[in-house]
Amino acid sequence: MNAARRAPFLIVETGQPVDSLKRYGRFPHWIRVAAGLSAREVVEVNAERGEPLPVADGLAGVIVTGSAAFVTDRAEWSESTAGWLREAAQSGMPLLGICYGHQLLAHALGGQVDYNPAGRESGTVFIDLHPPAFEDPLFAAMPSRFAAHATHLQTVLRPPQGATVLARSEQDQCHAFRWGANAWGMQFHPEFATHHMRGYVNARADCLRRHGRCPRTVAREVSAAPQARQLLRRFVQHARGTAGRPGPA
């Protein structure tokens, strides 16, 4: 158990915040703080810039950040990262993909990612849980409906074979899924605070208008999402509890 607690978490960086929010640091910092991890408990790799991903052995778990990139562009770094995630998921490594990371994990495991026919989803949205979520290690203690922050154009249109869809929103039918015992994707951003979300609404104002939304209204309706934020700490607790256990045969 002591060895499991000492093992670091890998945060795979797949993109950068919008310029107006860079004063708050990069995505790995936002995630680390929200997850309650100290700097010494985390290893960061910038996959978008081509930094090599490590051997997964010895990691407590892996968290993949969001990005302004599109999975459907099939960038070389993205496809390489998808291959690494596929192997890690198949080994039983605890994984959590956030937004782009959620989509990339789904793609890696054979799901379909593309533009959401319902258009851009942005702002504080309400997440509704499907019945399987109430027996899920991360979502079981969550209320059936809770607020979360989201900003995305693409989505998981078809989850990977064998995945369990855990949550939806009004615009997105697959806001969270679990594959196997230890791999999760979340379309929403559990690491976002209200200032992050408002910053993204302002940065994507023109896109929101093109999709028939009023940026001022979306920004005004941004509210705290503490329950969604708790999911990061639950993932850390789950990963610490499974570290060192053998993966699927």
Q: Are 113 and 107 in contact (CB under 8 A)?
A: yes
pLDDT of residue 4 exceeding 80, the answer is: no
Query: Long-range contacts for 34-39 (Cβ within 8 Å, ≥24 apart)?
Result: 34/190, 34/191, 34/229, 34/232, 34/233, 35/9, 35/63, 35/191, 35/232, 35/233, 35/235, 35/236, 36/232, 36/233, 36/236, 37/9, 37/236
List the chain domain ranges. Answer: 2-242
Helix axes 76-91, 100-108, angle to 10 degrees: 70
- As a whole number, mean pLDDT of residues 55-77 equals 96
Q: Which tokens in the block code for residue 177?
A: 């899924």
pLDDT > 70 fraction of the chain, expressed in percent and rounded: 95
Q: What is the value of pTM for the model shown?
A: 0.94
pLDDT reported for residue 166: 98
pLDDT reported for residue 19: 96
Active-site option among 13, 44, 48, 99: 99
pLDDT tens-digit readout, 157-194? 999 999 999 999 999 999 999 999 999 999 999 999 99
- The rounded distance, in Å, linking the Cα atoms of 107 and 130 is 22
pLDDT reported for residue 243: 56
pLDDT grade for 5, boundaries at 50, 70 and 90: low
pLDDT reported for residue 56: 87
pLDDT tens-digit readout, 89-118? 999 999 999 999 999 999 999 999 999 999
pLDDT reported for residue 6: 81
For residue 73, the tally of other CB atoms under 10 A from its CB is 9
Active site residue 191: yes
User: Integer distance in angstroms from the first to the last C-alpha of the chain?
Assistant: 22
pLDDT grade for 79, boundaries at 50, 70 and 90: very high
Question: Vertex 98, ends 177 and 89: CA angle to 5°?
Answer: 60
pLDDT reported for residue 21: 97
pLDDT of residue 246 exceeding 60, the answer is: no
Active site residue 149: no
Q: Count Cβ neighbours within 10 Å for each residue of 78-100 and write b for 16 or more, e otherwise.
A: beebbebbbebbeebbbbbbbbb
Active-site option among 44, 174, 191, 196: 191
Active site residue 207: no
Q: Are 160 and 106 in contact (CB under 8 A)?
A: yes
pLDDT of residue 196 exceeding 50, the answer is: yes
pLDDT reported for residue 242: 75
What is the fold of 2-242? Rossmann fold (3.40.50)
- As a whole number, mean pLDDT of residues 76-100 equals 98
Strand partners of residue 183: 95, 179
